[in-house]
Structure 1
Amino acid sequence: MKTLLRYSFVLFLFLEGFSLNAQYGKQKKADALFNKYSFIKSSQTYKELIDNNYNVAYAERKLADCYFMLRDPENAAIYYKKAIQQPNIPIDYYYNYAVVLRGLGEYEEADTWLKKFKKEGGKNKMVRELKKEKPVLFNVQTKYTLQDVNFNTEYSDFGAYRFGDILYYISAKNGTQNPKKVYSWNEQPFLDMYTINLNDSLNTVTPVVGDINTKFHEGPISISSDGKTMYFSRNNYYQNHNERDQKGVNHLQIYKASLVNGKWTNITDMPFNNANYSVSHPALSNDGKLLYFSSDMPGGHGKADIYKVTIQENGTFGTPENLGPIVNTEGEELFPFINSEGTLFFSSDGHEGIGLLDIYGTIKNEENEITDIVNLGEPINSKKDDFSFFMFSDGLSGYMASNRNNKIGNDDIYAFETVLPLMLKGVVSDSINGKPIPNAKISLKNNLGSEIAYLLTDENGYYEINIDRRKDYSISASQEKYTDKTKIFTSKNIGKKITEIVVNLQLVPLTDIKILAGLNTIYFDFDKYNIRPDAAKELDKIVNLMTAEYPEMVMKIESHTDSRGSLSYNDRLSIDRANATYDYLISKGLTKERVIAHKGYGERRLTNGCSDGVACEEPEHQKNRRTDFIVLKMK
């Protein structure tokens, strides 16, 4: 039977651990979906985490952000209201809460949280633009870092696109077909397509193999999920024929190529190309059923709009469809890109932004309809042109291009990485029995020793809190039954994709049974040694402590009297009280090896000045009629 019980306990621990791992994996999935702007799916997963009581505070914050991005102020307000009650919450949550409250018409409450945001040091150019008529909803932005790639040249480089181990990009360097021929618009060579095998440590750059590059511009590109089909932009040059419109302009068109024996060949024209306007910047959906592109064809909203066209199963194409005024403006919408979750990103100079061309993401509802856009913010966007956005399937990294380096005509490629929120988490437990300690106070301090946040552990001894990267910290845990514990740790020099630091703390219990068991003083009646009912309740606490919490604890008993009566009589009375206490504990299941001594000290250890001849009231004498419990060993 004992073996079966032991097996059941181990099985419980295994299943519990398995469940935690499953929930942790679910959180990672939700975060990945959020980073890919798949807010419907991520919100559903965060709800599951909350339902399963896993990392609830974090899930509530992210769920609030999901509803914020989905432009759902009713639900966003519910979870922002919970989030702002959390300790050490980033102040942007105050701002976002104010925004959604404005959207609900709760203006006074909104102003309260907007003032809180500003009081905490918040600065946001959108603060002054919060109007009663229409709330501004684009403050939740993923943070990124940018890094210049080592294959940029003095010429224009952009359009980075990775498929497998091959990185494709567009560059004006060299001019593979006619090195001396330059494009009159910027006096640079015409654009060609190049590749880098990322398994090659030398990062050798070679022109794309096949029939893609010509004496005109090529790029950017999009490749089908099976890697066999490429859609790419090129000036109107097909089958060695160069076609211009009535004004002599050679517009961009989209062509399709097939990969045959490692070469891109079999170039075909698209049926929706037209010599009188540009059709360019192809972006293929993951399932290969939709092709997005930019065009200045007649009937659009502005200079250039984003369109989509259906690719039929037989390879034919439907009629191009304009994406409408949510995406398109009177300006230019260019460089569409579809990530692994089907989210559209594009560049525009027509939407409210930071500079010239900015990069935007789109937001979809449950019907997969685009309902709004969000500016990706700095540092992705700058005061200059930012475009050709490409995101890896992990949703955390990719490439984009910009001319922010102030060199005329010199676009450069940048690799971006998402700066993931960093969470400090851990469990505070008892160093003797390993059990979690609820309601332990956690104090987080900076490297100067100043407290920057505090919180309490939950019923499982668990805590979590968001922290900054690249900083030194100390964390302390305290609880009234334990000795304080402090650990020093750092968030410096950790990987950008690491999302959590675990710091567990074990507290050493105090060797004081009164504190550990939460005892009230065990008193005896005058001239009595029987165990009173109130004393029995306290002794039961000791039995439970030594049985359930510290099964290896060893102690001794010391009993005492008041000063009334002779010294010898009181010695005998205290011994009787010690024996009575001992007998009671043994009767409740403690062994003689656990209670190794029980002695009486009479009136020799009074707790106050009520000695012989001193007039004291009964309550003062009562304080001396007591039994103490001394811990000799914990484990």
Structure 2
Amino acid sequence: MKIKTILLFTFIGMLSGFAQNSRLNNANKKYDKYAYIDAIAVYEKVADKGYKSVNLFEKLGNAYYFNGELDKAEKWYRELFALNQAVDPEYYFRYSQALKSVGKYDEADKMLQTFSQKTNDPIGKELLANPDYIQRLSKDSGRYQVENSGTNSKYSDYGSAFYGEDVVFASARDTGGVFQRKHKWTNQYFTKLYTARIAGEGFLDPAVKFSSSIDTRFHESTPVFTKDGNTMYFTRNNYNDGKKGKSSDRIIKLKIYKASLVNGKWDDIKELPFNNNNYSVAHPALSPDEKTLYFSSDMPGTSGASDIYKVAINSNGTYGKPENLGKAINTTGRESFPFVSLKNELYFASDGHLGIGGLDVFKSKMNADGSFSAPENLGSPVNSPKDDFAYIVDTRAQMGYFSSNREGGMGSDDIYKFRELRCDQILKGTITDKESGLPLLNAKVTLFDSNMKEMGSRMTDSNGHYTFETIDCDKRYYVRAENTDYETKEVNVTIPAKSGETVVDIALEKRVIPIEVGTDLAKVLDIEIIYFDLDKWNIRPDAAVDLQKVIAVMKEHPTMVVDIRSHTDSRQTHQYNERLSDRRAKSTLEYMVKNGIERNRLTAKGYGETRLVNGCSDGVPCSEAEHQKNRRSEFIVIKM
């Protein structure tokens, strides 16, 4: 007979209505050929009867965890940990997240602490404020070579930008000693823009003034240029046509201005429409496609002293509405000096995230949906106990510049050059069916960082292949693979500290499995051995868990008839093994009858050592593992 079974679990957000109907149609065609078992549904029925095992509770917990039903996952993970048996460290992390979902924060913190102790994973240090956090960041990772850029003065020099073969930056070198005025928001001397040619090894030649048409009596700083070099956005005090603009509390705020290069002269200087006299808008940065402008501001809605915002640059020259980048980036402290690399990596300065001291430089990767990954502190030597900010990088040359008032500089702020020595890695692999070894097309592969923040996802090609390019070295990631009718699987990987490729292949187990006459339910339900005590044939508690799986399947399919076959290895005599295996097979049958399966639906026979699956017969030396392959139980479907 042919039976159709509907899957009980689907992953939230995976299916649109169209895709859902399409998959159901395809699934119905498959169901016409076989009866199906939803393994998770079977396990839940077994667990609900009070049977317990690590494997059982891990699979049940994972089924709900990966489905986003953390409150249900908490139930099964609680049962898992109540067994007091060894589990992989990742279960401590998953259980902590599930505990948080039901408000058990103290227990969640304990699980995170244990997870941190077992894995030495950075998430434990960050979330639990481990005391060695600063020491770790302060240790030179060897990823950067940092030197003075060579163009600094005894006054403030900061906020550089690439401009062709030059670097343009702000300097107080001809005003700091005369006016001695500081802007209240930045605490910097009033500055003008200077330019310096990039020489060998990234050192900067002596600087000259950039443009007299840009200069005013107050601040000009932090420029950014379009790729064609004809448009510049820059920061200036609220000062237009010789007039100062002040806020309601009589402070001259900062604004972003736009200038165009006309006949070799910067002209047509206009302030951007989202500036305001009552708050500062400063430090512009452009996205690689030049359709988005990033900046820092203390406008209403800001989380702290200043936040990073973005605004769309429309094709007609107008601008959208500024958007706060949100809590992933902004804190109750200061976030400022954004820069976006060609790889869509956001660099910014902050004193609100965990850092070494003062402003530190952080990096966050932009995800496909426009959100940002958890910020990563660049550590030493880029960051120091002082203020470190205004980081820019040419990712093609792996070099760039940042500003700092660290010890050993020439002035209050200096520009430092750096060469990035970090390596590039490619993470790739193949997703396959565990049983057949065949590749799985359109399996979803998701990459998470060590904080379980999603970094992106891919769908496998016809060969089951997936690739994530430009993965950071010397870091831990989690790779999650999922596909319809398969159990989701997640593995962790630590990327080597050298350039190259890291391969992570994942084989998925079917969770909806076809059965027909001749199917061995032991293989379907992952039952290797029905364990008995030495020379005994009574059913042990751990064997009962596995037998309940078979019982649950037979109750789902009331016309199914099963032949129970018990096998031994070749040790002991033929006669002894045959009698022992036959008693065990019949004991198994009686257990199943006692638990609700009609006797006429079961047959049982012991085969002793007559059906060995390898060459481990009498007198042949074999390992314990090889002998174990012969000690097996089979539950063969002989009628549907």
Smaller-chain TM-score range? 0.3 to 0.5
| Larger RCO (CA within 8 A; separation ≥ 6) | 2
- TM-score normalised to structure 1 length: 0.45
Q: Which has the larger radius of gyration?
A: 1
- TM-score normalised to structure 2 length: 0.45
